[in-house]
Amino acid sequence: MSGLGGLNKSPNGVVIGLVQLQLPVVETPAQLKAQAERICWMVGKARRNLGTMDLVVFPEYALHGLSMSTAPELMVSLDGPEVASFKAACIEHRIWGCFSIMEANPGGNPYNTGLIIDDQGQIQLYYRKLHPWVPVEAWEPGNMGIPVCTGPNGSKIALIICHDGMFPEMAREAAYKGAEIILRTAGYTAPIRHAWKITNQSNAFQNLAYTASVCLCGSDGSFDSMGEGMFCSFDGSVMVAGGGRPDEIITAELRPDLVREARALWGVENNPYQLWHRGYVAVKGGAQDCPYTFMQDMVAGRYQLPWAVQVTDGTPCGFAPPERSYRGAEVNPFEKKQD
């Protein structure tokens, strides 16, 4: 049930719109400015489209397109005019918004950053993409973890970006930190269509969470993004699915209260709980250990695959081998402690 896409909103519902935004061409500061204005116009379209909508979600690369340019004049800062315009649009149209920016980083390559801004123009979630789509993307790996914010109607929301969603650990971490709705924004093109669908479904089911996912859409003359907005319920079923029509807004009402109920009451397939309480029928409280070698090795700093890997830097895509090491984690200034 999606409340007919949010037309019939329940007292416990959160109505989300996923914008299958037309893939833009952004090669100059003037084009960047024009695209920011277009995104703000689309925020208004979302409000006009559905008066019950709580949150409008734009795809990864909505502002910058798929050029992968790291040119300084095209990079964005949190105190710059682009983010200011997004805040103003959310205030004007009384709606929350999820936006994508390529953020200037004085200490290295730019970050691929996602923002959730509330209807008062305040940043409620700030996320740096943890898993750039290597070897294609040159973005700095995120170093602030996966934040969760309190969203409309008391919902708990996380954001992961594109390639992030191919790692089951990402959605599990979001759920572990309390997320009931996991947003996934992307710029994916058609070769990823099948993997996109099955991972959105599995991320939902394995974590008893809703997933709301959307890609850019249409062609920029070089690339063809696929749209494919989709909402998945916490049982893994597809609630609403979009196609390939640019600028279509796919909508659904999600019910975080039902996620909370399932997480509390399900016995069979309550996977987030059972991960740490395996076999609780046989032994008191279940086996509370970590039998997974890859987890143990990552924590110990000795993760190593039992096979050879040939592509280990960006040289196949024209990038020079990096010469500096990862500088480590930072504190997220926007992350608030969840209840």
Across the strands, what pairs with 114? 100, 127
Residue 167, C-beta contacts closer than 8 angstroms, at least 6 positions apart: 131
CA distance 295 to 290: 8
CB atoms within 10 A of CB 111: 23
Active site residues: 60, 129, 162
CA-to-CA dists, residue 298 to 18, 21, 293, 302, 305, angstroms: 35, 37, 9, 6, 11
Residue 318 burial class via C-beta count within 10 angstroms: exposed 0-12, middle 13-18, buried 19 and up? exposed
d(C-alpha 86, C-alpha 91), whole Å: 9
DSSP 152-208: GGG-EEEEEEGGGGGSHHHHHHHHHTT-SEEEEEE--BGGGHHHHHHHHHHHHHHHT
Is beta strand 111-117 parallel, antiparallel or unpaired with respect to 96-103?
antiparallel
